Structure formats: C-alpha cells, structure tokens
Structure 1
Amino acid sequence: MVNGQETATLISKFMGPGYLTESIGFEYKPVKYFSTRIGTGTARQTFVLDEKLFLDPVDNTKPPKASVFGVDYGKKVRNELAFQIVSAIDKDIFTNTNLKARYQMFIPYQDFKMSNIDHRLDVALTAKINRFMNTSLTGVLLFDKDTGTNKIQANQTLALGFGFTFPR
C-alpha cells in the first residue's frame, strides 16, 4: 500500500521464471505405480525474459536487483549442471480414489552446499464421488533459494467437478 491506496506489485510474467531441464541418467521402476529417475548429468536453464522484474516494483529509481530467480541482472538465462532425483507414485489407494505424488530434488554441482538443494513435492488426491461428480485435493511444497526466500513455499487447491456426457 502507498498512501493508503492498494497498488499492484509485479512479481512475475511469462518466462519469469521459465525452466527447461534436460537429464541423462537411469530409471528404476520396481512396480507399475512407482518409479525413481536418477539424473547424473542434468542441465537446467532458468529464463527471466522481462527486465522489469529486476526493478523495485514500488520505486523504479532504486538500482536494479543483482539477480532474480538466480538469473543475474543484464542476462536472460542461467545455466546449471546438477544431480537430480525424481520419484513418482500413481496408485489407486481406495475404490474410485487415486493418489499421485512426485518429489524432485535438484543438487547443483557448482557451489554445492546443503542449503542450495532445491526440493519440490507435488501431491494430488482425486476421488470420483458418483457418475457426475468428482473432487480433487492438490498441494505443492517448494524450497528453492533462487525464488528469493529461504522458506518453504506451499499452495493447495480443493476442487469439485461436475461432468455430463451427452448421448450419442
């Protein structure tokens, strides 16, 4: 708020950030519903295409931030080489109830410290209530220092869906 007035604060735009990850490694799939992928040669590019994201959203006269989402000022892309583990489960846990979870750990080789490891957990629980209705509960936990915080970020969603199929 500025002078008691609410103001919009730009924190992100398209490809601010954007990620492209390529990985070479091994996959282990002991059962149909679970897999783990280990990428020993993982490359990740982080994109910030809008230079306005480096500026202070309230006072544009301040000098720009040194980096945003890990991308240095004056550049649009950051390249990282890392070790990556991705584990996933997709299993019907009850009748008409499915659990999907995906955990990703990204360990950069350059400037390795335990505090620089990125973690992301996505969980989705979906249930079919009846022929016309279903519901889902989803959540994401993220820890990535490049996002500008040293805290775990979280989001969750509860959805109720209605569906009807017209006769053919």
Structure 2
Amino acid sequence: MTQKTLLLLSFILCFQWGWSQSADSSNVNAADTIQYWKNGGSFNLNVQQVGLTNWAAGGESSLALGAIVEGFTNYEREEVVWENRAKIGYGVIRNGDNTNRFEKTDDAVILTSKYSQKFSEQILMTAAINFRTQMDEGFKLENVQGQTEKRRVLISDFMAPGYLQASLGLTYRPDNLGLTATLAPFTGRFTFVLNDSLATAGSFGVLAGERIRSEAGISLTGTFERTLMKNVELKTAYNFFSNYEKFPNTVVNIEAGLNLKVNDFIQSKINSQLIYDDDVKVTRSDGSRGRDVQLKNVITVGFVLKF
C-alpha cells in the first residue's frame, strides 16, 4: 500500500467515522448541555524587569514579557467523549536599553480535537486532529566571518512550519492514573512551509521549492497528569510519529510542566519541551548545521486568571 493511499485512507476513516457519530451527540436538550459539557481556561501573564545603573558587579538591564491563554471544552455522555483544547503563548525579551529590539522567547498556537466512542471506560476508538504553528517571525543570531556584529537570520514564520496531524486509533485511559495513550496506525501528517524564502531553502523537511509535505504513518500520543503534593501538579504531553516509509525513524515531541500554586492568582511554572525530527536541520551554537535534539526550558512566575 503506497504512502498516498495510506494517507487518504486515514483521513477518510477519521472524518467519516467522526461525522457519523456526531449526530448522536448533537441530540441533547439544554439540560443535557449543562450537565455533560465541561469548560474552562486560564490566562497567565508574566513580567520580569531588571534595572541596573552604575552597577559595579556588571550585567545589563532587561525586560521580559510573556502571556499564555489556554482553554478547553469537553463533552462526555454514555458512550461518547469529545475533547477540545487550545493554547496560545507568546513571549519576548529585551536586553540592554530601549534602543535594542525585543527578541522572541516563546510563540505557539496549538489546537487539538479528539472524538471517541467507548468500547469500555478504559478502551475507546478515537479520531483526533492536532494543529501546531506560531504567530510571528523567528530569528537566530549568527556570526559573520570577518565582522564583529552578528546578523539576524529568519528561521521560522507563521505556518512555517505548521503541522497538521489527523489520526484514527485506540485510546487507553486506566482509572485513577491520570494517563491517556492513543495508538493510531492510520495517521496522516502534513508539514507546511508557507514562507517563500524558507520554502525555497527546503526548511523543515519540505522539498526545496515546495510548500507542503504529506506523510502517512503510525502515531502514539497522550497525556499524563498527577498531583505530586499539595499545590504542585505535573502535566506532560507526548507525540511520537513514524512515517511508514522510514519506519522506525520517529518524530519525538515531549512537553512536561510543573505548576506550583502560590494562591488562586499567583503561580510559578517550570516547563520543558524536547523535540527530535530527523528531517529538520538546526544551526547549533558552534555554527555547525545538522540533525539534533531541540530543547526549551522556561521558568515563570506570574499572575493567573482562571475562567
């Protein structure tokens, strides 16, 4: 079976099955909606400022701003489970005085929708869609031979990259463990590079001059959430994808975060993310270029508003 056939089959099964099941969940009255729908979200604002004037120990002033908006709306009734989540985050930092420009430190748009039919409380058939991109241009400072100043090189943009993953498989969610795992042998993955210069360079595994790359493969996705102690929560999310043509080479995306609650309005978060994609070449700190593990660590203390 060819890659295109597998890709087409995964999308047909995913959407046809989800559409046929949605009719059952739509026949609810107002009372059912109040009872079976759960909604929530949060807004996190972080501000950090360092001001130095005639400071003998050295250093430079800085200003950092960041915000994250997260929301979810879930429906569960009898044999039907429908989960929807959205996350938008953006952060910048400026080192030195106000003549310097702000540089991006965080930028993410993540949308997820999962529609499941229960075989039991632990085993479900799941059709899922996951979309990821960013909102703003991303730059990297690189050394220029023979010059003291570094140059800013564009390495990302809105929908460059953008990732759309649709899957159909089985979900396992054991009781009282805070764990979910979905194994989907029918998974279609699209990589978008809609910026002209990045598409011409063949960034993010898309062929030079092309804008979209399609793959068919198998995926393992899920979450793990656990309260470690009072006011300390651990939340993780993972996504493993392997193209059938390159199996067992695997794209890895793991996110883990500790939420430390001070009170209802102030929280500290420690977030880490690990990405490895065999088709993506990165510029290392020594200037060399090639495949490597990508790591991001963020520690914030800020104001939180839940709704």
- TM bucket (normalised to shorter chain) is 0.7 to 0.9
1:4-31 per-residue CA deviation (whole Å, 9 max, x = no partner) reads 2221111111111100010000100012
Q: Is the aligned partner of 1:150 residue 2:268? A: no
Shift of 1:133: 2.2
Equivalent position SS for 1:72 = coil
Query: Secondary structure, in 3 states, of the residue corresponding to 1:145?
Result: coil
Amino acid at match of 1:26: L
Task: Give the structure 1 partner of residue 272 of structure 2.
Answer: 139
Cα-to-partner distance string for 1:71-119 (whole Å, 9 max, x where unaligned): 111211000001000131112111111110112111110132x4x3111
- The answer as to 2:148 corresponding to 1:13 is no
Q: Cα gap change, 1:26/1:7 in structure 2, threshold over 3 Å: closer, same or farther?
A: same
Structure 1 residue 130: deviation in Å?
3.0
Out of 26, 31, 47, the residue aligned to residue 175 of structure 2 is 31
> Whose radius of gyration is greater, 1 or 2?
2
SS at match of 2:270: strand
Give unmatched runs, 5+ long, in structure 2: 1-142, 282-289
The 1-side partners of 2:292 and 2:305 are apart by: 42
Answer 1 or 2: which has greater helix percent: 2
Using the alignment, how far apart are the partners of 1:164 and 1:121 within structure 2? 26
Query: Residue 212 of structure 2 aligns to which amino acid in structure 1?
Result: V
CA separation of 1:40 and 1:51: change in aligned 2, threshold 3 A: same
Query: In the superposition, relative to structure 1, how do residues 96 and 43 fare at CA in structure 2: closer, same or farther (>3 Å)?
Result: same
Work out which structure has the larger RCO, using CA pairs closer than 8 Å and 6 or more positions apart in sequence: 1
SS of the aligned residue for 1:69 comes to helix
What is the aligned residue count? 153
**Cα–Cα, structure 1 residues 39 and 4, in superposed 2: closer, same or farther, change >3 Å?**
same
Distance 1:4 1:81, change over 3 A: same
Residue correspondence of structure 1 range 1-168 to structure 2 within 5 A: 1-2=143-144, 3-32=147-176, 33-54=178-199, 65=201, 67-112=202-247, 114=248, 116-148=249-281, 149-162=290-303
Q: CA separation in 1, counterparts of 2:305 and 2:235? A: 25
Q: Counterpart in 1 of 2:38?
A: none
Further displaced range: 148-157 or 11-20: 148-157
Distance 1:143 1:98, change over 3 A: same
CA distance in 2, matches of 1:11, 1:164: 33
Change (3 A) 1:8 1:132: same
Distance 1:131 1:29, change over 3 A: closer
Aligned-pair identity (%): 29
How much has 1:131 moved relative to structure 2? 4.4
> Normalising to structure 2: TM-score of the pair?
0.47
TM-superposed CA distance for 1:141, in Å, is 0.7
TM-score (norm 1): 0.83
* Distance of aligned partners of 1:128 and 1:49 in 2 relative to their CA distance in 1, 3 Å threshold: same
